Amino acid sequence: MGRPGGLAIVLLVARQLAVIYGAPLKTTFEGCRRGSLSGVDYDCCPSEYRGPILDFELKYNASAPVRIRRAMDCLDEDEASEYGEKLRKGISLMKALPADDPRSFAQQARLHCAYATGSFVTGSEGFDIHFSWFFHPWHRWFLYFHERILQTLLGDPTFTIYFWHWDHDGEAIIGRNKCSKSGMYFPAIYADPDSPLFHAARSLRPEFPALPVDLGLTGAESMDVPYRPKDLLLARNVAVMHDVMVIKSNTSRIFLGRDFRAGDKRVSPLEGAGSLEVTGHASIHWWVGGDLRTPPTAGKDPVFYAHHGNIDRLWKLWPLGGQGRANPTDPDFLDAEFLFYDETKNVVRVKVRDAMDTRALGYVYEFEERNEAWWNYQSTWNSWLKPVTHGPDTTTERSQGDPTS
Ligand code: C2O
């Protein structure tokens, strides 16, 4: 390589300056470097890409019926077996793609890793799509492309990923969607060791079908054996959800996390994260454990996508709490750009703004109304039932050196 020419230097300086003054984050895959998280190094950069970068365009056909991402726990037996069959087929096709195919299951996990370890750089800074207001939109896009790749591999444009409804207390749903099963257990289709949906690197918890998840689990507790009794967990989970979604969520700063602009410095894991990202979201990562425990490896576990479906849905539910709850309108949020590989192996540039309406992306969720038990939860018990502390002050988790998103 020769020395960069004068024009290149001028452009480089101009870019650095633009970055210093704060602007919407723009992602480039160029100059991807080895990343790190909590002092551990990772090499997750996508292979070099020489094709054009396409600007995202909705390929959604407005006359096609909107697809519904359904709650896995609320399927009847036939629906569940039909879905399980399709998903297993799609994921095995994804896993069978050549390792360097950007649509392969392994490459998708690597892309999540690269975005989680500061491997991509703006100006001189690496950034992390966790722990800021980008957490929700970035993961919406990630699932969007995952779903499109599955549709393409299956040759079925109607295929829709379903979600793990772990906030759902089966007893108390009201409204038009009734489902009396509880979603608070590890979804069975991911637990069969002979299935491509199984992942060996997990804790023992998912192996106990009668053990409810612990939505208030902290990083510090996550290496312990389960000790909270089932009935306490089920009740406490509802309290935790109420706390995260209704009580500690009245501003977008609290719910989505800190703002993040081009050139901002990466923060320590969990610092700056929104309330749902820390409690509920991270708790499920910790509860399942193993590779799901930490962002650089989390995408290797197929249950990641079912878990994040629920996060995406909860983000949609959040404004229903009213009292001014609304997503930021700051252009540094809406015009931030990320790159993803699409189902044709092209790199697509997306903006946060285009992720704000899932209907425009072609899907909605089942249970998008205010009908989960946690909306109206009223604590009648004493404070021992109250959820553990969560939110921006997460010193305990941080000192673990093994944060999760
Ligand atoms: Cu990118 Cu649940 O994490």
CA distance 370 to 353: 25
pLDDT at site 16: 53
> Regarding beta strands 67-69 and 363-365, do their DSSP bridges make them parallel or antiparallel, or are they unpaired?
parallel
pLDDT at site 178: 74
Nearest CA to ligand 1 atom 2: 405
Minimum-distance ligand 1 atom for the alpha carbon of 112: 1
Minimum-distance ligand 1 atom for the alpha carbon of 281: 2
350-385 burial, b for 16+ CB within 10 Å, e for fewer?
A: bbbbbbeebeebbbbbbbeeebbbbbebeeeeeeee
Which candidate, 187, 186, 238, places its Cα nearest to that of 215? 238
CA distance 239 to 119: 37
136 lines ligand 1 (CB under 6 A): no
CA distance 16 to 218: 39
pLDDT at site 14: 54
138-153 burial, b for 16+ CB within 10 Å, e for fewer?
A: bbbbbbbbbbbbbbbb
- One digit per residue, the tens of pLDDT, for the chain of length 405 reads 344 566 666 555 555 555 445 899 999 999 999 999 999 999 999 988 888 999 998 766 667 889 999 999 999 999 999 999 999 999 999 999 998 899 999 999 999 999 999 999 987 889 999 999 999 999 999 999 999 999 999 999 999 999 999 999 876 555 556 788 899 999 999 999 999 999 999 999 999 999 999 999 998 888 887 678 898 999 999 999 999 999 989 999 999 999 999 989 988 888 999 999 999 999 999 999 999 999 999 999 999 999 999 999 999 999 999 999 999 999 999 999 999 999 999 999 999 999 999 999 999 999 998 989 899 888 665 444 444 444 433 333 333 334 454
pLDDT at site 177: 62
285 lines ligand 1 (CB under 6 A): yes
Q: 112 C-alpha vs ligand 1 centroid, how far in Å?
A: 8
Q: Which residues contact 116 (CB under 8 A, 6 or more apart)?
A: 35, 37, 128, 129, 130, 295, 296, 298, 405
130 lines ligand 1 (CB under 6 A): yes
Q: Which residues contact 316 (CB under 8 A, 6 or more apart)?
A: 358, 365, 368
Chain centre to alpha carbon of residue 364: 16
Could you identify the residue written with the tokens 């189902």?
A: 343
Minimum-distance ligand 1 atom for the alpha carbon of 142: 1
298 lines ligand 1 (CB under 6 A): yes
Q: Which residues are registered as beta bridge partners of 36?
A: 41
pTM for this model (two decimals): 0.90
pLDDT at site 63: 76
Fill in the DSSP letter of residue 3.
Answer: P
Which candidate, 316, 331, 334, 320, places its Cα nearest to that of 375? 320
- Asked if 336 and 330 count as a contact pair (C-beta separation under 8 A), the reply is no
pLDDT digits 0-9 by tens, 84-118: 999 999 999 999 999 889 999 999 999 999 999 99
Cβ atoms < 10 Å from Cβ of 47: 12
- Asked if 69 and 63 count as a contact pair (C-beta separation under 8 A), the reply is no
Angstrom CA distances, 222 to 183, 226, 279, 393, stand at: 20, 9, 13, 18
Nearest CA to ligand 1 atom 1: 405
Find the DSSP H helices in 289-337.
295-298, 303-317, 331-334
Minimum-distance ligand 1 atom for the alpha carbon of 285: 2
pLDDT at site 173: 57
Chain centre to alpha carbon of residue 376: 26
pLDDT digits 0-9 by tens, 310-322: 999 999 999 999 9
pLDDT at site 395: 32
Q: 48 C-alpha vs ligand 1 centroid, how far in Å?
A: 24
Reading the block at residue 22, the tokens are: 């704060």
Q: 136 C-alpha vs ligand 1 centroid, how far in Å?
A: 9
Nearest CA to ligand 1 atom 3: 405
310 lines ligand 1 (CB under 6 A): no
